[in-house]
Structure 1
Amino acid sequence: MELFNQNIILYLAAYLIAGIPFGYLLAKQFAGVDIKNEGSGNIGATNVLRVVKEKDPSLAKKLGAATLFLDAIKGIVVILAAKMLGAPESVLWTIAVLAVIGHCFSAFLFFEGGKGVATGFGVLLVMMPIPALIAIAVWLGAGKGLKISSLSSLIGLIAFLIASYILYPEVPGIGSHAPIWVIALIITYKHIPNIVRLFKKEEGKV
């Protein structure tokens, strides 16, 4: 019963911590901008960069980088904390999924949120370091070449899925790629407006 209660606390903590809208808070505090009502309305690093750039390009880069870092770190922290408490792989993967859900559907923003890329790669970096590093390298390379954040993120996500199957035909501790697919589907779902704009050739560059 005590272990069950610990898991429930970990699940709740993962959802709430990952739900902290760092992009929204940073833009509001340091640039006086409500990014939920500006640009794409997203709370992620790309929208912070785009919106704040109109006022202060130098500040925009700093806030965009800080948002990206903090959104990734909150995913990393919740997994590492659970690891320190001896949580099994099945619990860690559940926490990973809940962290992405928390970021994308934040309780602090009436269940709205970001697209889950940074937080998703954060949790996956802990759970599957090598596939995650491959995905991040592909993401950065695509971003530099294409300069389209959404497309680069989706390409990075595909790279992770492929690498995870090659390196881990059976996921240690659970034997299934199911939680990875849940994370991938959430991120893809949050990118639907971007995908539509990509097909219409209307997606903006960074």
Structure 2
Amino acid sequence: MSILLNINVLFYIIAFLFGGIPFGLILVKLRYGIDIRKIGSGSIGATNVYRAIKDTDPKNAKKFSILTIILDATKGLIVVLAAKILGLSYETQWAIALLSILGHCYSPYLGFKGGKGVATAIGSVILLIPIEGICGLIIWGIVGKVFKISSISSLVGVLSGIGLTFVVPYLFPIPSSISIVDQIHTHTPAVLIGLFIIYTHIPNIKRLFSGQESKVL
């Protein structure tokens, strides 16, 4: 029982439970009475929110999609921010980030099913590697605008941000506290996030190669 009183363990549990809150599902269910798990990919993320209501309410579909992105990103950001305020170690903060992403993808409130984890991943790491995170977010937006395919923009945005962790600290003079290598002496958590995002997008990647992945207009 004493292990549950350890502040790190408490944060790990909170991160997973908070990350699991299905904001997209809740928003659409409350406003339109639609279960987005029965629409499109069945994901609880922003893209499926858009798909679920674009025919019913095209004027607000994009607004609800953007709101879902913000809320899903905020889930990860809040728990990492709280850990920072309380002075928890960087190792703990990265573990919290990973667990909030896992919570979103395997929500304990939805039978351990959920979304793809992209928005929560960005929100979770933005305070840990802000330069790479912001760059990845910008790339995500640009690629999405050009190709209008959510899976491409998500994969390229997240993987670009992670790839930049191997570049930015060595090319530009940044404070050591915002370099992952100076924080924890390894790129492992960032790489794990990248691999996990690829894993959650395997069905999308298969559709991309077969030319069946749909655009989000």
TM-score between both structures, scaled by the size of structure 2: 0.91
CA contact (8 A) 1:89 1:172 kept: no
Aligned letter for 1:74? Answer: K
1:188 aligns to 2:195 (yes or no) = no
Q: Give structure 1 regions of 4+ aligned residues with deviation exceeding 3 angstroms.
A: 1-4
Alpha-carbon distance, 1:58 to partner: 1.6
The residue that corresponds to 1:77 in the other structure is 78
1:201 aligns to 2:202 (yes or no) = no
Aligned letter for 1:157? Answer: V
Aligned letter for 1:114? Answer: G
Aligned letter for 1:197? Answer: R
Count of residues paired in the alignment: 206
CA contact (8 A) 1:24 1:43 kept: yes
Q: Percent identity?
A: 46
The residue that corresponds to 1:6 in the other structure is 7
Question: Following the alignment from structure 1 to structure 2, what is the Cα–Cα distance between the partners of residues 96 and 200?
Answer: 33
Alpha-carbon distance, 1:4 to partner: 7.0
The residue that corresponds to 1:173 in the other structure is 183
Alpha-carbon distance, 1:167 to partner: 2.0
* 1:117-196 equivalences in 2 (<5 Å): 117-168=118-169, 171-196=181-206
When structure 1 is superposed on structure 2, of 28-37 and 154-163 the one drifting more is 154-163
Ranges in structure 1 where 5+ consecutive residues have no aligned partner: none
Aligned letter for 1:188? Answer: I
DSSP-derived class of the 1:107 partner:
coil
Alpha-carbon distance, 1:153 to partner: 0.8
When structure 1 is superposed on structure 2, of 57-66 and 44-53 the one drifting more is 57-66
Per-residue CA shift, 1:22-69, capped at 9, x if unaligned? 011111001111000111111000010011101111221221111110
CA contact (8 A) 2:39 2:51 kept: no
TM-score between both structures, scaled by the size of structure 1: 0.96
